[in-house]
Chain A
């Protein structure tokens, strides 16, 4: 009753309650539109991932209709395009693991040491100069690294190891390691710099040296960030293609010896995808089976990384 009287007598030009509500509704409508747009943008990446998984899985299903999963995992030969076809994925997995192992043996210690130096020892001018240069190294196309491995690193290694063939997992792995160093160094340095100064002061006040503080206080405090950077490094190594395609040779070879040439999952995929295989043939389907294997390996490491982060997450 009262409100009726008020709106009837509203001559002041101020917005009425009903106007305000209309405005709110309008705003609400716009907000929803924006929300929908944001959701759509987010959905693109999720749907793309789902699409990839769908294609990999559906093609792999038809592949596994022809090849038993036990054969796939235990056969010691990978000759999908031969008349006597064998589909032993371990052949490719061994190449992937050996080259990644070599790469990580280079990248993890080197990246961590660089991060410790930049975060704890370098003065700010050195750090400001070194970090962009380091990150530039991460911007070099991998094909360049591939030929660097083939044409520079392999000949140098052959001087030391005369029995080293022209293509080898060792040479490709070493260069892949150098490629990964900047990622690990940069992320690890960020993690270590995020450790609060009060923690370092506590360590210094106990009489520790810089090195002791870095190793016994800063590194443990930043361990979840370091683990995340290592996992990223592993994913990069497992997924790396061009360096291996160029410098590791592409013949499937079940070996744990880095001094041999071998194909990896990725270099096999690039090799076969470049040929003209008929769509739907078994050879074509191997691409997807190999791709799915690669996805599962990467997924495994990501889950491991998540678990490590959750386990060692540091609340300052």
Chain B
């Protein structure tokens, strides 16, 4: 292992604290997110990994009483995503998200994927068609839906819906893609398809993925962070975390003694 193979930073959390009202959910998180790599967040339920993930695209702004402290720097422009001066809509224009439960809109397959483009003001039919196709190919679902683009997306199977949601997020060329336990509602075959897709996607986009499934973290990620009770316990290369964790608590979790 060389020291100089450290890739470029895409984002970095600096002294990040987060409060749901009075309750402190994230405690002084410092962590890099590397460009065009997959970073997995693992940890027991309630450890704050989803809370952390949802800070990146300011989802917490949707609910009253939530408060951030500290910074998440976003590169190359070194923007602080959490700054009150930064419009959350601008943030979400650059950072895509795929949710735990597939949540396609009650629209056609085509309109689901075109949604983000329309939000950004794209009206050219040709451009929309092209980008929708590209995104559906990117989501590895084009072949399954190309003949029924104008059917309701809610008629697709769960696994297809999730890949559609990935395509929807990809359509707008996000710089960072957030996955919040994207396979927890899917069967093993659909899960395998999504994992393969994540592997494919990291060529073009930085990925941050929350997962309950440690095998999944080991399979898909380059870096892994273990969180516990709102703290970042350990961060490192995935093989290192899984083979030789330096913190006892990480080791206990990974070996199944806890969590």
Give chain A's interface residues, CB within 8 Å of chain B.
Answer: 123, 196, 198-209, 212, 216-217, 220-221, 223, 314-315
Knowing A199-B105, A204-B92, A205-B59, the reply to whether A212 touches B119 (Cβ < 8 A) is: yes
Interface check B243, CB cutoff 8 A:
no
Residue B236 lies at the interface, judged by CB distance under 8 Å to chain A:
no
| Beta-carbon nearest neighbor of A195 in chain B | B106
- Do the beta carbons of A198 and B107 come within 8 Å of each other? no
Assembly CA distance A199 to B106 (angstroms): 9
Residues A206 and B172 in contact, CB atoms below 8 Å apart: yes
**Contact between B99 and A201 (Cβ–Cβ < 8 Å)?**
yes
> Can you list 20 pairs linking A and B with CB atoms under 8 Å apart?
A123-B64, A199-B106, A201-B59, A201-B99, A201-B103, A204-B59, A204-B62, A204-B92, A205-B59, A205-B99, A205-B169, A206-B116, A206-B119, A207-B119, A207-B120, A212-B119, A217-B105, A220-B105, A221-B106, A314-B154
Interface string of B91-106 (1 = CB under 8 A from A): 0110011010101111
- When the two chains form their complex, are residues A208 and B119 in contact, meaning their CB atoms are under 8 A apart? yes
Q: Could you tell me which residues of chain B, from 76 to 100, have a CB within 8 Å of some CB in chain A?
A: 89-90, 92-93, 96-97, 99
A75 to B62: give the CA distance in the assembly, Å: 60
Total contacts A-B at CB 8 Å: 65
Q: Apart from A204-B59, A208-B115, what 15 extra A-B contacts exist at CB < 8 Å?
A: A202-B99, A202-B104, A202-B165, A205-B57, A206-B92, A206-B96, A206-B119, A206-B168, A207-B116, A208-B89, A212-B119, A216-B115, A217-B105, A220-B106, A314-B106
B103 interface neighbour in A202, A209, A314, Cβ under 8 Å:
A202
Residue pair B172, A221 in contact (C-beta under 8 Å): no
Question: In this complex, what residue of B is CB-closest to A220?
Answer: B106
Question: Is B105 within 8 A of A221, CB to CB?
Answer: yes
With A198-B99, A216-B115 in contact, is A209–B64 under 8 Å at CB? Answer: no
Among A203, A207, A209, A221: residue with most chain B CB under 10 A: A207
Residues of A within 8 Å of B120, CB to CB, are 207
- How distant is B155 from chain A, measured CB to nearest CB, in Å? 9
Taking CB atoms, residues of chain A closer than 8 Å to B90 are 207
Minimum distance in angstroms from B184 CB to a CB of chain A: 13
B residues within 8 A CB of A203?
105, 115
Is the CB–CB distance between A220 and B107 below 8 Å?
A: yes
